Structure 1
Amino acid sequence: MKEKIHCRLSPAIFSCDFSTKQKQLIKKALLVMRIITVIMLVFTLHVSANTMAQNVSIKKQNITLKEVLKELRAQTDYYFIYNSKEVAENRVVSMNFVNTPIDVVLNSLLKGMSLGYTIEDKIISLKPVKEPQANMQNAVSQDRTITGKITDGEDGSPLFGVSIRVKGSVNGTISNAEGNFSLTVKPTDKVLVLSYIGYVTKELPLTALIKYEVSLAKDSKQLDEVVIAFGTSTKAELTNSVTKISAKDIEQRPISNLNSAIVGASPGVQATAGSGQPGEGPDIRIRGFGSITGDNAPLYVLDGAPYEGVISNINAEDIDNISILKDASATALYGARAANGVIMITTKRGTSGKNNITAKLTQAFSNRGLPNYETLNAYEYFPVIWEALRNGALGTGVTPTDSLNAANVATNGIKNYVGWNPFNVADDEIVLGNGKLNPHAKLLYPDDLSFGDELQQLGMRTDMSITLSGGTPKTDHYVSVNYLDENGYVKGSDFKRFSGRLRVNSTPSDWLKFGLNVFANYTKSDQANESSGINENPFYVDLILAPIYPVYKHNSITGAYELDAQGNKIYDVGDYRPLFTGRNVVYETMYNVNQVRRNSVNAVSNVEAKFLKDFKFTSNLSVNLGNYRSNVYDNSVMGDAVGAGRTTRTNTLTSYLNFNQLLTWNKTINRHKISVLLGHENYLNYYDYLSGSRRGEGIAGLSVLDNMTTTTALGSYDRDYKTEGYFSKLDYSYRSKYLFSASFRRDGSSRFAPQSRWGNFWSLSGAYNIDKEPFFKVKWIDMLKLRASYGEVGNDRTGNYFTFQRLYTLGYNNGTE
């Protein structure tokens, strides 16, 4: 508000007896006084205008009037004065206002209390109001009370806390937890204004009805917001290829690894089958493979900072949305790390209002996703083997005698060829001379001829989480605790995760915001031997091994299980088998150890400051500390370490820091919208590796290194990896119809030689929203956009070795060897 204040003092009141010098001093003093007076008056008017426009937010149920006044005092500069005898301090009220002018709050608060108020400077005085009885009766006879219910336009659920106000008046109320409201209106009131955060404001014409059913539609502008590189945009103003996955798409699925949420969510994103281990997910490839020998994994960005941790560490319940940046124009701002696409992960935050506590328990089951190949059973297997032996023995013979001799060779030699006879008939009577299975042959132990059945189980998954969220207009918070226990469908495989997250955001003033997001987790996983050699891989062994060999030892006459001194079944070593001789994949899976433990702490802090109206400065600092420990043990009874036992321990430490500074300028001139971004980013990664192997155990089953006698391997190294980048971006929009964007980044990576360390990456993109043209009136098309883009990005993920160092075996930061 601008005010012109004129102030004039007449010099005639001063005597002419003063000397000229004294008069000059007096004139200067008067001039200073005039300036000070003007400044004070302008400041007073300015403060008065601002204070009258102060907004407050308060959402509390069943609190006293005194507590409400105390809360209003805390949020504003006002002092409250009243007579405790005239004001019922302990009267209980309920308040639900968000960013509402204080006069509206006071009118609602004092309604029905026969109280009024006056505002003078910084003081609000509460006084009783007495109206003439005649006027009150006249007002009652003319006013009427209307009721209604407000619901969500999509699912019909009631909306709590919707502001209902008479247009052009301070008269209003809010809806309760059931969405119902009641409001007294005057005959002159024509329209109600209904507003709610996240929904489109609606104007409701008042008719002769006294009850209204109203539904509010969600604000598409908020729903269409998409997280992009170093900022946000809307679907309408995007000039590049970005796909958004919302929390609603994730929360109904039993997901242990976020990569599973991306599968099938976007065109151009492929998922390759993962290991199937509990806690593991598929490998994600955005628009195919970018390198034959290099890394093809996308870059993950968590809450604005690159994330190099394990994806399974992130609790899916904490995710608010995921944006997949697919083309070069969308990812160019990440320069040398963006060749394989970028996946932006945004976690949940608290919302203004009452605290919400959510508890969730999910119980799920899992089994093999793809059925096994169709295979022969024992009754079908022997005739096929007999035929192969007969054909081999027959050779080029064509006479009946040749055929008979070949059949006898096959019949008599079939047991020696396969090494085992699971039937109740003699070894040379399993298959008759005509190639048919002996009709009297019965399996001695039909329930113990499948290693796969013995290894598989019904996988169970338990996911428990508790979240607390809420906040005030100036501060919000989100706290979550999660426990996940997943047992795979292969015995000996499981995944356990304990995680917690704390996110706090504060806005102490209109121009300053800051936030802190901290999460920590601990995971423990027992791995099935799917990545081991062929002799230990349960899936491979189950496919290759004929369905005639038992898992446990049996009596050769009765087929009964042989038991040890404790009454337990004895595993069959299989010395007679032509394949996997002396091995039993079930025993090795159960008694070998392949265990991984991880713990990590990740913290992201940010600060945002607005200045000079159109400028905004943002800085993000991300720190991560992670530990990894692998314990691999092979037993001494059966397998690769028979007679000795061996163990390998691997420990790694990973820490990284990412720090960026962003300066943005946003300006709207008539229908032209311009946005400029300037930024700088540093990334530092430290990796420390230590591994040792020993064999020759002293105590059977004890997997620690001290239990072994002979060291077979020992090694360690560390590695520093750094990047630095300078970048900028220009976005232009005319009427949200014609769009243009350009970006540039200069990146340096320590993985390359000093003379080749820096690279330039850039992009250009444009779009034309045809649906915004007046001539476009196709109701069944929501959006029609023509888009084109071009960009250049890089990939510095060359592995642990630095590509410019020639002696790779000494290439781990070992100076100048």
Structure 2
Amino acid sequence: MRSAFLSVRLTGLLLLAFCLNATAEINPQTVTVSVKDVSVLEVFDIVRKQTHYSIFYDKDMLEGARPVSVSVKDKPLVEFLDMVLRDQPFSFYIEQQTIFIKKKKAVAPSTTAVNTPPALPPVSGTIRDGEGNPLAGVNIVIKGTNRGTATDADGKFSITVEPGQVLLISSIGFNSREIAVSSDTDFDITLVGENKSLNEVVVTALGIRKSVKSLTYSVDNVKGDELNKAKETNVINSLQGKVAGVTITKNAVGPGGDSKVLLRGNRSITNSNEPLYVIDGVPLSGNVSMLNSDDIESMTVLKGASAAALYGSQGQNGAIIITTKRGKSGETIVNYIGNYTIDQAAVLPDLQFEYGQGDAGIYSPSSEHSWGPKITGQSVELWNGHTVKMEGQPDRFKNYFRNAGTLNNTLSLQGGTDKLQSYFSYSNTLAEGIMRNNDMNRHNIDWKITNNITSKLTFFSKLSYIYEKVDNRVFPGDGGTFALPSLFRTPVTIPLSEIEQYSYIDETGQERQSYWNPGSSVQLNPIWALNRVLNTQRRDRFLGLVSMKYEFNSWLN
């Protein structure tokens, strides 16, 4: 669901967020509990509901837990957990809004008293780069353990440590650091960028190639072979995790889905924050998701002022320079690349199956909610007059998703003489989404000619054509006619077999939707949405370039 906020409301929202934050700091989390001989899991459930904290634990670890009897009112959360878990075989620690349950370490008997230093309070801080910009996604791990955290969008972190422990701080593109924790609880840490591959040649503005060590600004270069390891249908997603300071957010999953790219975070509230894309020296607006990754020789990422200096206001958010493959002198080389990948849903939605269709604990065949009576297998009459047992339907999402295959084939030819070189490639991508009927068919044709007229004068021409057809492109949010939101909204006790007949022919001979709730004006039949609302999109894109370069001397062309 996309929401638009008026700018005049922004101040009010910020003030409200500040007030809520201030209130949370003044009033620490408390719980009110009165139970007798209940399981620890029931106590955790009460804590979760009252505090909205997440609780992580291993179920096997709780098998030896003792029943709990406790009666407290407005007890601080930490004191309450200390009291409840004191005689249990496990303990806890809290990081931000998450409670972690861990097994207690066995303590060897000792005849001498040992003075154990008290644990330090959580340490926090901010991590920046050499230019003072906050770094998001930096890994902070306690040395010798598997406990850790990561910085948020503002470069901030918080983690609980014990005296004498060491923090290992690392991020792609930066030199790692080790910070020993003593009495300080607030850190301001600067990471220095790695200075590797100084002899590497990168492409800058207008396709000019320069050595990295000759540049006065920071660049990151990724070779085409590295990009192809991920085998993403959207080539921009292949940059994820390969360039420091680059944040890539998928606006939609599945084939044909676009992504939002940020270099060094958001800079504007009202304008676009995405970088400028430059393909073979030609600046382009909009996404480049339709490019064939097998045709890419390298990507160079310019950030901040360096991109603005080369491309003006267009490059104020940074620039991603894409250099595609060209012909080479020598024998004609025919190259074929084929690959097949399979995707599947890693995590299925976790719904409640304790309460069935209805509202306020009362069953109603026309209700669009799952707030009805408790599910006990009782018989109920559906909206269509059929009588069924009220049971949860946990397989509805399992049957909706699928193992999705992506087949990519690329055939290229390159060759030529010292005077004339050419490159031709054709690529076809057939991709399935993990959601049924989400399919993509894409064709890429690329043709380039390089003519070295003289030792100083070079002529270059390029023509690219891209055709893409996407069925049932996945959109974020729960609006529109997308099948997945309709499946979420369908009450958890309605069998899919009752709504499989998703259409009928009316008196005029037209196919119409069979609503699972005929009285509803908003609830689509998810099976209808899956099979009849395909939202087919077709895109044709032509890219042409003709350029001539004359080299006056070694430093000017």
Q: TM-score range by the shorter chain?
A: 0.5 to 0.7
The answer for the alignment partner of 2:484 in structure 1 is 539
User: In structure 1, which of residues 566, 589, 604 is the aligned counterpart of residue 545 of structure 2?
Assistant: 604
Matched residue type, 1:514: F
Quote the Cα distance in structure 2 between the aligned partners of 1:336 and 1:461: 38
Deviation at 1:244, TM superposition (A): 0.4
Superimposed CA distance per residue, residues 220-255 of structure 1 (whole angstroms, 9 cap, x where no aligned partner): 989700111232222222221211010110122212
1:381 aligns with 2:326: no
* Contact 2:255/2:438, CA 8 A, preserved across alignment: yes
Match of 2:472? 527
Report if the CA contact (8 A) 1:450-1:547 is conserved: no
CA distance in 2, matches of 1:358, 1:283: 32
- Between the aligned partners of 1:352 and 1:445, the Cα distance in structure 2 is 70
Match of 2:416 in 1: 471
With over 3 angstroms needed to count, the CA separation of the structure-2 counterparts of 1:524 and 1:442, relative to structure 1, is closer
The letter of the residue matching 2:527 is V
Please, which of 256, 268, 273 is the counterpart of residue 245 of structure 2? 268
Q: Distance in 2 between matches of 1:414 and 1:324?
A: 58
> What amino acid maps onto 2:226 in structure 1?
D
CA contact (8 A) 1:485 1:497 kept: yes
Whole-angstrom CA distance in 1 between matches of 2:319 and 2:451: 28
Could you tell me which residue of structure 2 aligns to residue 550 of structure 1? 495
Could you say if the C-alpha distance between residues 572 and 454 of structure 1 is closer, same or farther in structure 2, counting changes exceeding 3 Å?
A: farther
2:201 counterpart residue number: 225
DSSP 3-state at the match of 1:311: coil
1:256 corresponding residue in structure 2: 233
Aligned residue identity for 1:312: S
Q: 1:486 aligns with which of 428, 431, 455?
A: 431
In 2, the alpha carbon distance for the partners of 1:224 and 1:614 equals 19
Aligned counterpart for 1:364 among listed residues 341, 345, 352: 341
Which one of 246, 250, 272 corresponds to residue 223 of structure 2? Answer: 246
Mean Cα deviation higher: 265-274 or 413-422:
413-422
**Larger gyration radius, structure 1 or structure 2:** 1
* 513 and 256 in structure 1: CA distance in 2 versus 1, 3 angstrom threshold: same
Which of 287, 290, 303 is 2:280 aligned to?
Answer: 303
Asked whether the equivalents of residues 535 and 583 of structure 1 are also in contact (C-alpha less than 8 Å), the reply is no
The 2-side partners of 1:550 and 1:512 are apart by: 72
CA displacement, residues 647-672 of structure 1 (integer Å, 9 cap, x when unaligned): xxxxxxxxxxxxxxxxxxxxxxxxxx
* 1:160-204 Cα distance to aligned partner (Å, 9 max, x none): xxxxxxxxxxxxxxxxxxxxxxxxxxxxxxxxxxxxxxxxxxxxx
Corresponding residue number in structure 1 for 2:443: 498
Aligned length: 347
CA distance 1:506–1:442, shift in 2 (3 Å): same
Partner of 1:518: 463
Aligned-partner Cα distance in 2 for 1:423–1:582: 26
Is residue 336 from structure 1 mapped to residue 313 from structure 2 by the alignment? yes
> Which one-letter code corresponds to 1:600 in the other structure?
R
Q: Counterpart amino acid of 2:223? A: S
Aligned-partner Cα distance in 2 for 1:324–1:475: 30
- Deviation sequence 1:531-583 (CA, Å, 0-9, x none): 586363333333343321133428xxxxx999989xxxx98622278x87653
State the alpha-carbon separation in 2 of the partners of residues 599 and 541 from structure 1.
31
Question: Aligned equivalents of 2:338 and 2:293: distance in 1?
Answer: 13
List aligned pairs for 1:80-119, cutoff 5 A: none
- How much has 1:277 moved relative to structure 2? 3.7
Greater percentage in strand: 1
SS of the counterpart of 1:337? helix
**Match for 1:591 among 532, 538, 550?**
532
Asked if the contact 1:366/1:458 (under 8 Å) is kept, the reply is yes
Q: 1:549 to 1:535 in 2, by over 3 A?
A: farther
| Kept in 2: contact 1:535–1:580 (CA 8 A) | no
Q: 1:530 corresponds to which letter in structure 2?
A: F
C-alpha separation in 2, matches of 1:373 and 1:241: 42
Change (3 A) 1:333 1:222: closer
TM-score by length of 2: 0.55
Cα distance between partner residues in 2 of 1:609 and 1:354:
27
- Asked if residue 354 in structure 1 is aligned to residue 331 in structure 2, the reply is yes
Whether the 8 Å CA contact 2:378–2:389 is kept in 1: the answer is no
The change in CA–CA distance for 1:269 and 1:309 in structure 2 (over 3 A counts) is closer
Query: Residue 318 of structure 1 contacts residue 347 of structure 1 at CA under 8 Å; is this kept in 2?
Result: yes
Using the TM superposition, give the Cα deviation of residue 462 of structure 1 relative to its aligned residue in structure 2, in angstroms: 1.0
Task: Write the letter of the residue equivalent to 1:574.
Answer: W
Match of 1:37 in 2: none
- What residue is the counterpart of 1:574 in the other structure? 516
The C-alpha deviation readout for 1:710-735, integer Å capped at 9, x for no partner, is xxxxxxxxxxxxxxxxxxxxxxxxxx
Listed as ranges, the gaps of 5+ residues in structure 2 are: 1-195, 382-386, 506-511
Q: How does 1:636-651 map to 2 (within 5 A)?
A: none
Look up the equivalent residue of 1:585 and give its one-letter code.
P
Counterpart of 2:542, as a letter, is V
Q: Which shifted more, 600-609 or 242-251?
A: 600-609
| Contact 2:502-2:514 within 8 A present in 1 as well | no
2:481 touches 2:533 (CA, 8 Å); kept in 1? no
CA RMSD of aligned residues (A): 3.6
What's the CA shift for 1:443? 4.8
- Counterpart amino acid of residue 529 in structure 2: E
Amino acid of the structure 2 residue aligned with 1:588: A
Q: Is 1:271–1:284's contact at 8 Å kept on the other side of the alignment?
A: yes
What does the per-residue CA deviation read over 1:631-651, in whole Å, with 9 as the maximum and x for residues that have no partner?
xxxxxxxxxxxxxxxxxxxxx
2:257–2:474 contact (8 Å) kept in structure 1: no
Q: How does 1:371-520 map to 2 (within 5 A)?
A: 371-377=347-353, 380-382=354-356, 389=361, 425-427=378-380, 443=389, 451-520=396-465
Contact 2:406–2:430 under 8 Å retained in 1: yes
Q: CA deviation at 1:364?
A: 1.2
Q: Distance in 1 between matches of 2:350 and 2:530?
A: 24
Distance verdict in 2 for CA 1:320–1:614, change over 3 Å: closer
Q: Distance in 2 between matches of 1:284 and 1:562?
A: 39
Q: Is the 8 A contact 1:450 1:551 kept in 2?
A: no
Give TM-score scaled by structure 1 length. Answer: 0.39
Aligned to 2:172: none
- Letter in structure 1 aligned against 2:450: N
Percent of pairs identical after alignment? Answer: 22
Deviations 1:338-376 (A, max 9, x none): 11110100001122222211111111112235x234222
Q: Using the alignment, how far apart are the partners of 2:438 and 2:481 within structure 1?
A: 14
Following TM superposition, by how much is the alpha carbon of 1:520 offset from its aligned partner in structure 2, in angstroms?
1.1
Label 1:415 to 1:601 Cα distance change in 2 as closer, same or farther (>3 A).
closer
Deviations 1:435-465 (A, max 9, x none): xxxxxx995887x665534432222211111
2:234–2:258 contact (8 Å) kept in structure 1: yes
